């Protein structure tokens, strides 16, 4: 399920969001998407599956890396999927270390916990990927990756919650 969700979100991002981004912001690098929806899949996977999510995400990351590099001619480093998963894993571990300090009411709101995971993992993912793709670890890359992950993760979470409500309230008789 993680593989299907990640590849579907990545395919939509690569096929629709990147071309729109290129039209609207032609000077922006294709290294960082303004709206990277697969980050929401990563955060939800870590929320649902814990540390095992890193193993579940790895095949999907490399499948989409292969398609991006060889099919779409986007120059991504071979280690980008590993760096990305490691950044998300570190963000999730940080979340685990602070969750006991969160207010008790927040545990009733799964979306709030996923949002925290989105932000933490986006922070470490942006540092890792900007360092990988820019020898100086340019701050502009850090911001581009961070905001693309946060916005994309938030939009994906919103869409997932909306679709879940529709399916939950539908009867398929």
Distance of CA 120 to the CA centre of its chain: 11
Q: Show me where the domains of the chain are located.
A: 2-25+32-168
**Angle of CA points 46, 47, 48, to nearest 5°:** 95
Residue 26: per-residue pLDDT? 76
Residue 24: per-residue pLDDT? 86
Query: What is the C-alpha separation between 33 and 25, in angstroms, rounded?
Result: 11
150, burial (CB in 10 Å: exposed 0-12, middle 13-18, buried 19+): buried
Compute CA distances 137 → 85, 127, 128, 141, whole Å. 18, 7, 8, 7
Alpha helices in 16-109 (DSSP H): 18-24, 38-49, 53-66, 80-98
Q: What does the block give as tokens for 9?
A: 């979100």
Residue 118: per-residue pLDDT? 97
Q: What is the mean pLDDT of residues 119-130?
A: 95
Residue 30 in this model has a pLDDT that exceeds 60? no
| Whether the Cβ atoms of residue 43 and residue 88 lie closer than 8 Å to each other | yes
Residue 173: per-residue pLDDT? 61
Per the prediction, the chain carries an average pLDDT of 89
- Summarised one tens digit per residue, pLDDT across range 53-110 is 999 999 999 999 998 888 877 777 889 999 999 999 999 999 999 988 888 888 788 8
- Summarised one tens digit per residue, pLDDT across range 138-157 is 788 889 899 999 999 999 99
Residue 157 host element (H or E): helix 139-168
Q: What percent of the chain has pLDDT over 90?
A: 58
Residue 28: per-residue pLDDT? 66
Query: What is the C-alpha separation between 79 and 137, in angstroms, rounded?
Result: 16
Q: Which residue has the tokens 């991504």?
A: 76
Residue 36 in this model has a pLDDT that exceeds 90? yes
When pLDDT is cut at 50, 70 and 90, the band that residue 5 belongs to is: very high
Q: What does the block give as tokens for 130?
A: 């900007």
Query: What is the C-alpha separation between 10 and 13, in angstroms, rounded?
Result: 5
Residue 31: per-residue pLDDT? 60
When pLDDT is cut at 50, 70 and 90, the band that residue 162 belongs to is: very high
Count of positions (residues) in the chain: 173
Q: What is the mean pLDDT of residues 103-127?
A: 91
């Amino acid at each position: 399920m993680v593989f299907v969700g990640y590849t579907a979100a990545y395919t939509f991002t690569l096929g629709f969001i990147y071309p729109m981004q290129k039209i609207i912001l032609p000077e922006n690098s294709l290294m960082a998407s303004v709206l990277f929806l697969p980050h929401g899949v990563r955060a939800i996977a870590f929320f649902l599956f814990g540390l095992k999510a890193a193993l579940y995400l790895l095949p999907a990351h490399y499948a989409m890396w292969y398609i991006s590099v060889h099919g779409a001619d986007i120059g991504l480093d071979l280690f980008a999927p590993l760096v990305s998963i490691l950044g998300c894993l570190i963000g999730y571990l940080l979340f685990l270390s602070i969750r006991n300090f969160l207010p008790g009411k927040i545990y009733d709101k799964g979306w709030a916990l996923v949002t925290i995971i989105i932000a933490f993992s986006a922070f470490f993912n942006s540092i890792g990927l900007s360092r990988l793709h820019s020898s100086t670890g340019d701050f502009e890359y850090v911001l581009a990756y961070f905001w693309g992950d946060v916005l994309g993760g938030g939009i994906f979470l919103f869409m997932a919650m909306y679709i879940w409500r529709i399916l939950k309230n539908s009867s398929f008789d």
